[in-house]
Structure formats: C-alpha cells, structure tokens
Amino acid sequence: MKPEIDYTLYLVTDRELMSADTIEECVEQAVAGGCTVVQLREKTASSREFYQMAVKVRELTTRLKTPLVINDRADIALAVNADGVHIGQEDLPYNEVRRVIGADKIIGVSVSNLPEAQTAADMGADYLGVGAMFPTGTKTEANLTSMEELQRIREKIDIPIVVIGGINKNTIPLFKGTGIDGIAVVSAVVSQKDPASAARELKLLFQDV
C-alpha cells in the first residue's frame, strides 16, 4: 500500500547550503516549521556517505511521521525503507526503478514540459516535480519552465504537481490559481538562520495560493 503524501511543503536537502550543523538538525527544524515531505538529495556525497545520512534521516522522519523520498538512488531507498524515490530525466528509467523498489513505494519524476509530464504520468509516476520555474543556484544548468507550460501540464495531468526552482516567499504568490499541489524548497528553508520559522512563513504563503 503506497503512503498517502501531503505535498504542500516539500523540502529538498542540500548540505552545502544549510545553516544547521547537521542534516538531521536541518530536517527536524524544517519539519517543525511545517514541511510535509523530505527529499534527501545530496549530489556530492559518496554512496557510503549518502547511505549513512539516509539512515539517520530515516530514523528522524519515522519519529516525526514525515514521508522520506530519496533522490535518484533506488538502492538506498530500499536499504533504509524510504517511502519513495525521485528521479530526473537522466536517471534510471521509471520502469527499472519501479521494478527495484516495488509497488508500495512512490516515484516522483522531474519534468520541464508537457511531453515529459505526459510520459511520466503514462508510465505511472505518483507525482511530478515541475521546473525549474525560476533561476536557481542549486540547478544552474536547468531549463526554465514557463507559467504557461505549467498551466498546460496542470490541465492535462491529474497526478500531484510540485513546482521547484527558485521557490521562495517572493515567487510563491505568482502561483495563485495554478492548481498546483505543493512547492519544493531548498535554500528558502535550509539556508535560513531559523529553518522552522522560514518553513512556517512559506507554508502560510502557499495556503493563500
């Protein structure tokens, strides 16, 4: 049975940007402020480092009753019994990830346009990460997705949509009326002096969208 996920405020980790001393402290503060799902995304970590972080974060998210998604690594998601995996266009294909992790885990797919979104939905993706919506330091090479393209995706695709890329308190109001299910945040929470307070403010802003 797949877990029920509230995608409202989707935290994506980045050790290089975080203000907290440890990734567990960062995640705990973010969840205390209202983050509803956590994606562990640590591109520069070795496999062993990533696994060790995943074990600690999984213990924490289990205690906090918050879903944990692992970026790219189906093997690590299985090893720590995470709730799912998030994959990009250049990662292991959806069908292979599903074969590895089984039917009871969620799979999210990063897309930037309607054809990618349609393909992901047709394959059985549980949710879409759409973007990058705005320029962002965490993904400098990303192609930007226009608001018009986001609207086209929303009109055609009925699975949950989470927007990512440059999402912060200034850009959240721009999504009013788009019908999205959540916002994915990185530096707008993890880089802040008080991640809990930052998450709380962002969640309140999104509730008005």
Mutual angle of helices 47-63 and 23-32, in 10-degree steps:
30
In a domain, 188, yes or no: yes
Q: What is the pLDDT of residue 140?
A: 59
Cα–Cα distance measured from residue 56 to residue 197, given in angstroms and rounded to the nearest whole number: 23
The active-site residue out of 58, 105, 110, 112 is 110
Q: What is the pLDDT of residue 28?
A: 98
Q: What is the pLDDT of residue 136?
A: 80
Q: What is the pLDDT of residue 141?
A: 61
State yes or no: is 46 an active-site residue: no
The active-site residue out of 41, 58, 105, 203 is 41
Per-residue pLDDT of the chain (209 residues; tens, 9 = 90+): 888 999 999 999 999 999 999 999 999 999 999 999 999 999 899 999 999 999 999 999 999 999 999 999 999 999 999 999 999 999 999 999 999 999 999 999 999 999 999 999 999 999 999 999 999 876 656 689 999 999 999 999 999 999 999 999 999 999 999 999 999 999 999 999 999 999 999 999 999 99
The active-site residue out of 139, 152, 191, 197 is 139
- Strand ranges for the chain from DSSP E: 9-12, 37-40, 68-71, 84-87, 106-111, 127-130, 161-163, 182-185
User: Domain of 132?
Assistant: 9-207
Q: Is the peptide bond before 132 cis (omega within 30 degrees of 0)?
A: yes
Domain count, the chain: 1
Amino acid at 51: Y
Residue 136 is part of a domain; what is its CATH number? Answer: 3.20.20.70
Contact 24, 57 (CB under 8 A): yes
In a domain, 4, yes or no: no
Dihedral, CA of residue 82, residue 5, residue 24 and residue 48, to nearest 10: 20
In a domain, 62, yes or no: yes
Provide CB contacts within 8 A for 139, sequence distance 6+.
132, 165
pTM of the model: 0.96
In a domain, 38, yes or no: yes
State yes or no: is 41 an active-site residue: yes
